[in-house]
Amino acid sequence: MTTTHPKNPTTHPKNPTTNPSSVIRTRFAVRFLHAMKKLNKKTPPSRRYHTIRAAACASMASAVGPRRAWSRAILRKIRARTLHDHLIHKSRNHRLITRRKSAGLRGNPRDQEEVGFRQEDDLRGLVPGGEGMGFCRLLSETAHYIKCLRAQVQVMTNILDHYSSS
Amino acid sequence: MKRIIDSSFLPLHHSSIFLLCLTSQSLSLSDYILNLPVILTLYIDTQCTHSLLCLYVSSRKREKSRMDQLLVNEASFTVAINQSSYSLAELLSSGMGGGGGGLGLRMGSLGDDGSGVGEVGDVSLEQSTVTYQSVSRGGNGGGKRRRGVVNFIEDDSSKLVSTSSDNHDLNESNGKRMKASGSRDEDRGSKTEAETNPLNSIKSIEEKSKPEPPKYYIHVRARRGQATDRHSLAERARREKISERMKTLQDLVPGCNKVIGKALVLDEIINYIQSLQHQVEFLLMKLVAVNPRLDPAIEGFPIKDVAARSFDANGTMYKSQAPEECGQGTQTEWPPLQVGSGFENEKHDWESR
């Protein structure tokens, strides 16, 4: 990436671990904190929760990058939403966008082949972008998604504790 | 011993080899091994290399170094062996009959020594499958001394062994190969294994007779009683992929190891993901509540501290250790990342990469 995106782990003083989860944690932490910093100045308190949640999702997805299907799905959703927001006054475009968005996100529905109908469906509903992929791929995406969710929880817990203590 | 070797030079028939094997059993192992290279060279010429594998190594007296030597010798012959693909089958079937029983390719000792070390991995071993039946049955009737019989199953050859040679290209060029045949090494002693092997070997022969599939073919082993056509093999490969992924998921989710069965494991996973997501929401709400205090404190924020912390995110909130007092104001100016319009920036980021 050419843009000077904050803190790669290498620019830090030596990290004790450079395993993938700590890399993700660092990246997410940086982006999220940055987003929060900007968020405080901009949004009114009424929509704060909504914006901070969007910021968390977006920073997580961008920390992961477009390598994973679920992060791509989140980024797509965000882009579609911003486009949607910007073009909402043009009704024709609005309709177009909503149509395209639904087609893109839905993908081709797969049959419930594997275990029970319920589990596979639920899993697809939970993992972002889980609609349009096969079961095998869904499982690997789920594994990565769980790792990143865990990292997210850890970072946010740290931030909270840091704030509450200082 | 020398006498035997000389005598076997002349007829170059399998029966002689057989005799050789039998007699060698009475000799000490060291004698046998030393004479091994001679025997091996002998057979390469005649393209009866498989007979080499008749080397009956007594399980009692094996030494690993010897085995390695043995393997090295045999591995070097692989190229020659390759050409003699069907020769052994023909030869054996023509000649031996009952004598073939003695030819039990037993490298039992080798198998015990190390995973897959015992097997002389040769591609051509596949062809010996037909005779295997008689061989294995006769071999198993042999009894106790033949513990750890490793019937060379063809298949194992690919995986093998060959520590020294690269048979890999040879192996891949063959038809369906076995994967994870190393697990079979442990089953060696069992009779059932020996008996299923002939069937498998026969199947592999049939498969080999097809034109060689391209190298990217999925290598799956055909088990006893299972269909070997492409579709079911592909399905089996797919199922194994899925089960492998389920295993990684089980490792990720705590408490999933005790659960057995795909449905229950998936239930656990779903619950875990839901709990993680709820946790994120909860933390976000807390953050929003804390937020007004953020501005003054955010300057010297210890990123490293925050990111390096490892917590047990098991659905419970944990107290942190005291955060370090690090003035990480060494951080450079953060590039602007607007929240509202920042999504577009992020879009540009990724697109520029």
* Chain A residues inside the 8 Å CB shell of B294: 36-37, 40, 163
- Looking at the domain assignment, is residue A7 inside a domain? no
% chain A with pLDDT above 90: 0
Domain span at residue A119 reads 20-165
Q: How many domains does chain A have?
A: 1
- Residue B101: pLDDT over 80: no
Q: Assess contact for B126 and B152: CB atoms under 8 A.
A: no
Please report the ipTM that was assigned to this predicted complex: 0.75
Report which listed range, B79-83, B268-272, B310-314, is most confident: B268-272
Task: List the single residue in B with minimal CA-CA distance to A127.
Answer: B273
The verdict on a CB contact (< 8 Å) between A153 and B283 is yes
- Looking at the domain assignment, is residue A140 inside a domain? yes
- Looking at the domain assignment, is residue A87 inside a domain? yes
Q: Which of A79, A113, A142 to mutate to test the interface with B (most CBs of B within 10 A)?
A: A142
| Spatial CB neighbours of A90, under 8 Å, sequence gap ≥ 6 | none
- Residue B75: pLDDT over 70: no
Local structure of residue B341 (DSSP, 8 states): T
User: What b/e string do you get for B235-274 counting C-beta neighbours within 10 Å, with b at 16 or more?
Assistant: ebeeeebbeebbeebbebbeebeebeeeeebbbbbbebbe
- For residues B134-157, average pLDDT: 41
CA dist B305 and A29 (Å) reads 10
Query: Which of A8-22, A129-143, B175-189, B294-308 is predicted least confidently?
Result: B175-189
Q: What is the pLDDT of residues B227-248, one digit of tens each?
A: 778 889 999 998 899 889 988 8
Rounded to whole angstroms, what are the CA distances from B70 to A143, B14, B45, B75? 45, 20, 18, 8
What burial class does residue A81 get, using C-beta atoms within 10 Å of its C-beta: 0-12 exposed, 13-18 middle, 19+ buried? middle
Pairwise pLDDT comparison (B240 vs B177), residue with the higher score: B240
The verdict on a CB contact (< 8 Å) between B353 and A53 is no
- For residues B255-259, average pLDDT: 82
- For residues B37-50, average pLDDT: 46
> Which tokens go with B340?
């509202």
Calculate how close chain B gets to A95, using CA atoms only, in Å: 21
pLDDT grade for B297, boundaries at 50, 70 and 90: low
Q: Please, what is the average pLDDT of chain A?
A: 72
Chain B contact present for A134, CB below 8 A: no
- Residue A19: pLDDT over 70: yes
CA dist B201 and B222 (Å) reads 10
Nearest of B347, B339, B277, B281 to residue A33 by alpha carbon: B339
- For residues B283-307, average pLDDT: 64
Nearest of B301, B295, B280 to residue A39 by alpha carbon: B295
The pLDDT value recorded for residue B289 is 77
pLDDT grade for B287, boundaries at 50, 70 and 90: confident
> Which tokens go with B193?
């294994």
CA dist B138 and A19 (Å) reads 55
Q: Which of A64, A75, A123, A146 to mutate to test the interface with B (most CBs of B within 10 A)?
A: A146
Report which listed range, A94-108, B151-165, B189-203, B275-289, is most confident: B275-289
Domain ranges for chain B, please list them. Answer: 31-75, 229-293
CA dist A24 and A28 (Å) reads 6
98-127 in chain A: CB under 8 A from chain B: 114-116, 119-120, 122-123, 126-127
> Position of tokens 């904050």?
A6
- For residues B32-58, average pLDDT: 46
Calculate how close chain B gets to A72, using CA atoms only, in Å: 10
CA atoms within 13 A on the CB side of B115: 6
The pLDDT value recorded for residue A62 is 83
| Length of chain B (residues) | 353
The pLDDT value recorded for residue B278 is 92
Q: Which amino acid is at A15?
A: N
- For residues A64-71, average pLDDT: 79
Q: A108-111 long-range CB contacts below 8 Å, 24 or more apart? A: A108/A132, A110/A134, A110/A135
Nearest of B350, B300, B351 to residue B328 by alpha carbon: B300
CA dist B20 and B7 (Å) reads 9
| Spatial CB neighbours of A135, under 8 Å, sequence gap ≥ 6 | A110, A113, A114, A120, B242
- For residues B114-130, average pLDDT: 40
Nearest of B155, B163, B158, B147 to residue B107 by alpha carbon: B147
Local structure of residue A45 (DSSP, 8 states): G
- Residue B202: pLDDT over 70: no
Chain B contact present for A83, CB below 8 A: no
> Position of tokens 């492409």?
B230
Nearest of B21, B25, B131, B112 to residue B63 by alpha carbon: B112
What are phi and psi for residue B171, nearest 5 degrees? -60, -45
Q: B254-260 long-range CB contacts below 8 Å, 24 or more apart? A: B254/B314
- Residue B144: pLDDT over 70: no
Chain B contact present for A24, CB below 8 A: no
pLDDT grade for B149, boundaries at 50, 70 and 90: very low
Chain A contact present for B303, CB below 8 A: yes
Task: List the single residue in A with minimal CA-CA distance to B324.
Answer: A162
Q: What is the pLDDT of residues A80-136, one digit of tens each?
A: 877 777 776 555 555 555 544 444 444 444 455 555 677 788 888 888 887 878 888
Indicate the SS3 state at residue B196. Answer: helix
Q: What is the DSSP string of B232-268?
A: HHHHHHHHHHHHHHHHHHHHHSTT-SS--SHHHHHHH
Which CATH number applies to B229-293? Answer: 4.10.280
How many Cβ atoms from other residues are within 10 Å of residue B341's Cβ?
Answer: 13
- For residues B213-227, average pLDDT: 61
Q: Please, what is the average pLDDT of chain B?
A: 53
The pLDDT value recorded for residue B275 is 92
What are phi and psi for residue A134, nearest 5 degrees? -75, 170
Q: Assess contact for A156 and B287: CB atoms under 8 A.
A: yes
The pLDDT value recorded for residue B255 is 83
The pLDDT value recorded for residue B103 is 40
- For residues B177-195, average pLDDT: 42
- Looking at the domain assignment, is residue A13 inside a domain? no
- Residue A25: pLDDT over 70: yes
Give strand ranges (E) for chain A.
none
Q: Which amino acid is at B60?
A: R
The pLDDT value recorded for residue A71 is 82
- Looking at the domain assignment, is residue A46 inside a domain? yes
| Spatial CB neighbours of A74, under 8 Å, sequence gap ≥ 6 | A57, A58, A60, A61, A128, A129
Report which listed range, A116-120, B65-69, B102-106, B110-114, is most confident: A116-120
- Residue B37: pLDDT over 70: no
